[in-house]
Structure 1
Amino acid sequence: MRYKHIFFDLDHTLWDFEANATATLQELYAEYALDKRGIPSFETFYASYSVINDKLWDRFRKGFINRNELRTKRFSMTFLDFRICDDKLCDDMGARFIEVLPTKTALFPHATEVLDYLRDKNYPIHMITNGFEDTQRLKMKHSGINDYFTHVITSESAGSLKPHREIFDYAMKLSSTTAAESIMIGDTLDVDILGAQQAGMDQVYFAPDKRQEGIQPTYTIKSLHELKEIL
């Protein structure tokens, strides 16, 4: 086998973040009766939240804001779009989101099938994620994939964020492997794929919907099932 160690991203690659976040926010929209606070529909709330959350995650990866700022600002800035200024509501929803989200269990099609396949072929499987340690561990536990992974490397444990090379080097050192024997599977070109390239690892770009352009990965797949053709 060309590769000896497999590294996965979690969100948007194995764990269906979009589906799970949508389900969580729908619950919170109803729980906090946001329709009575001047937000006309869940769809308008979610559209605003998604844009703001993506921008804040980009700023977090670049080191401009910290974890707590990310968790609070994504709600306070969303509410400002609807002219709502309520610090307690923002704090309460932020805490509830972190509590509920990791309990959601939606995975991408073929996720457990492919993990079974890789385990049966005796590949050591690891995780490299920019998510927060406690949250990512809970996601994996509730969705039933925790036991597949030998090492789970988060940005907190590594002291570095993808796409920086340091988190990949840390992951390979922890897993006692080299770049030549490793491959990274992720959904974001400028985070997972670029970071793995900078560390000298081959990459699989998981693009189930519209493919991004600009960086050329080693492999591109639309379904996790296609990993069986590579590994």
Structure 2
Amino acid sequence: MRYKHIFFDLDHTLWDFEANAIATLQELYVEHALEKLGIPSFDAFYASYSVINDKLWDRFRKGFINRQELRTKRFSMTFLDFKICNDKVCQDMGARFIEVLPTKTALFPYTTDILDYLRAKNYPIHIITNGFEETQKLKMEHSGIHHYFTHIITSETCGRLKPHREIFDYAVNLAAATHAESIMIGDTLDVDILGAQEAGIDQVYFAPDKVQEGVKPTYTIKCLQELKEIL
């Protein structure tokens, strides 16, 4: 076999972050009575939150803000979009989001099927994620996939975020693998694919909705079952 070690991203690749985040935020919208505070609907709230959260994650990956700033600012800045200032509710929502989100269990179609397939073929399977250590492990435990993975490498443990080469080197060394015999599967061109590419690792770009242009990956798939044609 050309590849001997499989590295997956977690969010948006196996664990359906968007579906789970929406379910969590819907709970928080009701729990904190945001309509009474002046946010007219959940859809309006989520539209604003999504844009702000994406921008803050980009700043976090680039080292401009820290974890705590990310967790609180995404709510306070969303509130400001609706001309609301309520630090107490924002702080409470930040804490509750981190508490509730990892308990959600939506996975992408065929996640367990492909993990069973890879395990049956005796591939060591690992995770490389920019998420926070405790949160990512809870997501995997609640969704029932934790046991598939030999190593779970988080940016928090490694001290470097994807796409920096150091986190890929760290993962390969921890797995006692080589770059040439490893393959990275992820959904983000400029994080998972470019990072692996620059580390000398082949990549599978998982693009279930729309293929973005730019970096040219080794492989592109729209469904996780397509991995059976590669591995």
State the TM-score, normalizing by the size of structure 2.
1.00
- How far apart are the structure 1 equivalents of 2:68 and 2:44? 25
Indicate the residue corresponding to 1:92 in structure 2: 92
Give 1:194 deviation, angstroms. Answer: 0.3
- How far apart are the structure 2 equivalents of 1:225 and 1:31? 38
Task: Please show how residues 4-43 of structure 1 align to structure 2 within 5 Å.
Answer: 4-43=4-43
Query: Over aligned residue pairs, what C-alpha RMSD do you find?
Result: 0.3
Task: Please show how residues 17-96 of structure 1 align to structure 2 within 5 Å.
Answer: 17-96=17-96
Q: Report sequence identity in percent.
A: 83
Give 1:33 deviation, angstroms. Answer: 0.7
State yes or no: 1:222 paired with 2:219.
no
Q: Which amino acid aligns with 2:34?
A: L
- How far apart are the structure 2 equivalents of 1:35 and 1:65? 29
Aligned residues: 231
- How far apart are the structure 2 equivalents of 1:57 and 1:211? 21
- For structure 2, which runs of at least 5 residues remain unmatched after alignment? none
Q: Deviations over 1:187-226 (max 9, x none)?
A: 0000000000011000000000011110000000000010
Q: Which amino acid aligns with 2:61?
A: R
- How far apart are the structure 2 equivalents of 1:215 and 1:18? 24
- How far apart are the structure 2 equivalents of 1:35 and 1:156? 35
Indicate the residue corresponding to 2:174 in structure 1: 174
Indicate the residue corresponding to 2:187 in structure 1: 187
- How far apart are the structure 1 equivalents of 2:61 and 2:178? 25
- How far apart are the structure 2 equivalents of 1:86 and 1:34? 11
- How far apart are the structure 1 equivalents of 2:24 and 2:225? 27
- How far apart are the structure 1 equivalents of 2:142 and 2:158? 23
Q: Deviations over 1:122-177 (max 9, x none)?
A: 00000000000010000000000000000000001111000000000000000001
Indicate the residue corresponding to 1:148 in structure 2: 148
Give 1:43 deviation, angstroms. Answer: 0.1
Q: Which amino acid aligns with 2:15?
A: W
Task: Please show how residues 152-163 of structure 1 align to structure 2 within 5 Å.
Answer: 152-163=152-163
State yes or no: 1:129 paired with 2:129.
yes
Q: Deviations over 1:23-58 (max 9, x none)?
A: 000000000111111100000000000000000000
State yes or no: 1:165 paired with 2:143.
no
Q: Which amino acid aligns with 1:129?
A: T
Q: Deviations over 1:106-137 (max 9, x none)?
A: 00000000000000000000000000001000
- SS state at 2:65 partner: coil
- SS state at 1:208 partner: coil
Q: Which amino acid aligns with 2:190?
A: D
- For structure 1, which runs of at least 5 residues remain unmatched after alignment? none
- SS state at 1:177 partner: coil
- How far apart are the structure 2 equivalents of 1:101 and 1:213? 31
State the TM-score, normalizing by the size of structure 1.
1.00
